[in-house]
Amino acid sequence: MLAFAIRRLIEAAFVMLTVAVLAFLLFRFVGDPVNQLVGQDTTLEDRLRLRQQLGLDDPVWVQLGRFLWNAARLDFGISYQAKQPVMMMIADRLPATLELAIAAALFAILVGIPMGVYTGIHRDSWLSKLFLTVSLIGISLPTFLIGILLIYVFAVKLGWFSSFGRGDVVRIGGWTTGLLTASGLKALVLPAITLGLFQMTLVTRLVRSQMLEVLRTDFIKFARARGLSRGAINFGHALKNTLVPVITIIGLQVGAIIAFAIITETVFQWPGMGLMFIQAVQNADIPVMAAYLILVAFLFVAINFVVDLVYVRIDPRIRIFDKAG
């Protein structure tokens, strides 16, 4: 277990180093940082001085070392576009993305599990077939199309929810939250559904297939023979035994939710990190892109590391190298 954890840790460190070097190459060689920071009427001497200040005349290795050291301290320099520290911009927008991601994950779990249980128990009812058809469409349609559809129906036609921004937010310390105001909650509904729909269908299908499997086992038959109520059998015994893979999948999907937040945030103009990244790409704002790249990579590596460990911990039968291959 320890050897496995250490090996995975070294691997994770290697991945992070690769991503950081890529980010550095991007930062250093795409466009001239000085040109991006100053206006057109800056004199040549001023430019040279700024160049000196930024350390752009040092050998590339020294610059790389400095970049890595700064990145490790979460210092990603200054945004070309907003002219403020990148880390401040990220700290500003992180709460929006996290709230959206958590809401989406909750939606996926709280709707997906009951739907999975229902379709698992009543596998031939018309409602199950409806659920499964809807989930098939949910998987096939691109996220942004679903978002637009929801906006058109629930915001433009029915006017129930708002379709862009976060609504009114309340600032608590360094954290801004939209969960405490009515307009904030209203604004959260559509993006959370859009973002969580894919994961919801995933959870539904997974719980369904697991339920179908568990319901066939002897201990369920025995529970029925003992005369336990249907609720106790279905939820107390069957569902409990389906949860290990579900938890693993949800853990792995957290990363996907963060990634797809880019799309959802663009559709709903949600002021989070994903929207910031897209705007940075459109403006060639390299420091912001580099920072986002490193943060997302870190997030993914961390999640995978934890999920791998949990996996081995929960189920020692899993042969690690089979899973990797």
Does an H or E element contain 176, and which? Answer: strand 175-177
Query: What minimum distance in Å lies between the beta carbon of 269 and other proteins?
Result: 11
Greatest CA separation found in the chain? 89
CB 197 within 8 A of CB 262: no
- Does 282 bind other proteins (CB under 8 A)? Our answer is yes
Q: What are phi and psi of 172, to 5 degrees?
A: -120, 105
Q: Which of 33, 95, 255, 271 binds other proteins (CB under 8 A)?
A: 255
Find how far residue 191's CA is from the centre of its chain. 13
Q: What sign results for the dihedral spanned by CA atoms 60, 66, 70, 73?
A: positive
CB 27 within 8 A of CB 286: yes
Nearer to other proteins, 145 or 243 (CB): 145
Query: What minimum distance in Å lies between the beta carbon of 226 and other proteins?
Result: 36
Query: What minimum distance in Å lies between the beta carbon of 309 and other proteins?
Result: 15
Q: Which of 149, 170, 172, 306 binds other proteins (CB under 8 A)?
A: 149
- Does 286 bind other proteins (CB under 8 A)? Our answer is yes
Q: Which of 140, 171, 218, 230 binds other proteins (CB under 8 A)?
A: 140
**Residue 244 and residue 81: Cα distance in Å, rounded?**
46
Query: What minimum distance in Å lies between the beta carbon of 32 and other proteins?
Result: 13
Tokens for 14? 């290697």
- The contact set with other proteins (CB under 8 A) reads 11, 15, 26, 30-31, 137, 140-145, 148-149, 151-152, 156, 255-256, 259-260, 262-263, 266-267, 277-278, 281-282, 284, 286, 289, 293, 296-297, 300-301, 304, 324-325
